[in-house]
Amino acid sequence: MERITIDPITRLEGHGKIDIFLDGNGDVANSYFQIPELRGFERFCVGRPVEEMPLLTNRICGVCPEAHHMAGVKAADAVYNVDPPRTAKMLRELLYMAFYATDHTTHFYALAGPDFIVGPDAPVAERNILGVIHKVGLEIGGKVIQMRKFGHRTVEMIGGRKVHPASAIPGGVTKILSEEERKEIEEMGRWAIDFALFSLQAFNDIVLSNKTYLDLIVGDVYTHKTYYMGLVDENNKVNFYDGKVRVVDPDGKEFCKYAPNEYMNHIAEHVEPWTYLKFPYLKNVGWKGFVDGKDSGVYMATPLSRLNAADGMATPLAQEQYEKMYATLGGKPVHQRLAIHWARLIELLYAAEHWVELATDPEITSPNVHKKPTGIPTEGVGIVEAPRGTLTHHYWTDEKGLLTKVNLIVGTTNNYAPIQMSTKKAAQSLIKGGKVSEGLLNMVEMAFRAYDPCFGCATHALPGQMPLEITIHNSDGEVKEVLKR
């Protein structure tokens, strides 16, 4: 049989591609990280009924369909000016907690784990989830699979479908939870709490107790002092599903707090000639380039940002871990990007705890799950926290509810500017006087992997994964070296 070799370069047209330009001294002058842009989504949507959006947008991405489903239905609620019954909101949120627990688990064990558990210097062939299992033991792999099974099962029970949930509609949800289902979901949630605690303990034992790893986390290479964004509830606690968007400045002080429909007063998008993807920034600070500090409108929206932007966690065990993290890393806000991994595990615990809170609410099995929208549709914004950052859906319709305009700001896009800065900083520390240090690929990878950038759209076509390519150019712009894997 013919052997199939897929040349990474051809697959890389504009994806996972980093160009580094050196100055006359051979130091890094600039670096450009390109990620793909999906084209034509707005045109694709215009003319469709707005209630199709929660189903359609969850097809944008194979990784976080649940996040798009939720942002989409919340925007559709807003378009119809309908406030769903409490039980409907709780069911949506319960599904969302199960999704979060699954997603954060996958990221930690499959993506971050290899760097911290197998080690950043380990051979590439070992730096994957198999290496993690090899090092920590089969038990951990079994737990990861179990966590994912429980997450999928809960999403399926509430969302009506295994992968792309279909139950949320404007005004509520289509499916009532039975007592039998509720019991099963509660049990799975209790297991998830134990799993989250186990994961935090593993992080403590393997990462925090290892000086090399701790130094890597608190070191300067991965530090940027930027603004931080996250959704908060009425007590300024982290919330994934609902609330107001709060932004804190690099000193941790509240800079602004706004309702979803006010986002355009606060967020603007910067365009660069070398990439199709836009860079969102804080409008009221202004775009000053890819720099950090209080005068630069660059913000970050990640698990760590959410923790930085809030006053705490809404559940007791997660709150304990929240306090521990800030005590260990020297108070709020934490600017070290690799701490995003720690924050992600604290969020995993919150998601599991809240999962059980919702599953044990006396009203969760109430049949009152839908309020019929009666208003004339106009315009609406829905915001949720996707695992990778604040997700905004904005729809405009005519009086029949047919879409006339759509705007989305997706999780990863929020972080495009900080990712750009982090990859550049990692490159600067590893390329000096024209000499490229060993491990450049690893360190650059670690820089952006912390943000958990999602190019889910690109996962479908074979080979199903994007290789990384770094091209280093000399001061004349000529290609000096190409590193790839």
Please check whether residue 383 is in contact with residue 390, taking contact to mean a CB–CB distance below 8 angstroms.
yes
Residue 51 touching another protein (CB under 8 A): no
Degrees (nearest 5) of the Cα angle 85, 90, 94?
155
Residue 17 CB neighbours (<10 A): 20
461 touches another protein by CB under 8 A: yes
Kindly tell me the burial class for residue 403, based on how many C-beta atoms sit within 10 Å of its own C-beta (0-12, 13-18, 19 or more).
buried
Could you say which residues in the range 344-363 bind another protein, by CB under 8 A? none
CB contact at 8 A, 365 and 213: no
CB of 45 to another protein, least distance (A): 8
Interaction with another protein in 105-134: which residues (CB under 8 A)? Answer: 106-107, 110-111, 114, 124-125, 127-131, 133
By rule CB under 8 A, what count of residues binds another protein?
71
Q: Name the segment binding another protein (CB under 8 A); options: 62-70, 199-207, 238-246, 429-437.
A: 62-70
**Of the two residues 85 and 453, which places its CB atom closer to another protein in the complex?**
453
Give the separation between CA 186 and CA 11, rounded to whole angstroms: 44
| Closer of 57 and 239 to another protein (Cβ) | 57
Residue 352 CA to residue 102 CA, distance in Å, equals 10
Residues 306-335, interacting with another protein (CB under 8 A)? none
Shortest spacing between CB 154 and another protein, in angstroms:
14
Question: Which two structure tokens, joined as six digits, stand for 112?
Answer: 């971050």
Using only C-alpha atoms, the chain has a radius of gyration, in whole angstroms, of 22
305 burial type by CB count under 10 A (0-12 exposed, 13-18 middle, 19+ buried): buried
C-alpha to C-alpha distances, 124 to 144, 148, 203, 484, nearest whole angstrom: 22, 25, 21, 12
482 contributes a contact to another protein by CB under 8 A: no
Residues 135-154 that bind another protein (CB under 8 A): 138, 141-142, 145, 148-149, 152
Q: Should residue 44 be labelled a site residue for another protein when binding is judged by CB under 8 A? A: yes
Q: Residues 373-397, buried b or exposed e (16+ Cβ, 10 A)?
A: beeebebbbbbbbbbbbbbbbbbbb
CB of 429 to another protein, least distance (A): 19
Among 262, 396, 466, 480, binds another protein (CB under 8 A): 466
Which of the residues 364 through 423 are near another protein (CB under 8 A)?
none
Report in angstroms how near the CB of residue 26 gets to another protein at its nearest.
Answer: 25
Rule CB under 8 A: is residue 458 a binding residue for another protein?
A: yes
Q: Which of residues 253-292 bind another protein (CB under 8 A)?
A: none
Q: Name residue 34's beta-bridge partners.
A: 17
Reading the block at residue 10, the tokens are: 């051809």
Please identify which residue in 169, 441, 447, 472 interacts with another protein, judged by CB under 8 A.
441
**What residues from 22 to 41 belong to the interface with another protein (CB under 8 A)?**
36-41
For the CB of residue 68, give the shortest distance to another protein in the complex, in Å: 12
377 within 8 A of 395, measured Cβ to Cβ: no
Chosen residue from 299, 448, 450, 471 binding another protein by CB under 8 A: 448
166 binds another protein (CB under 8 A): no
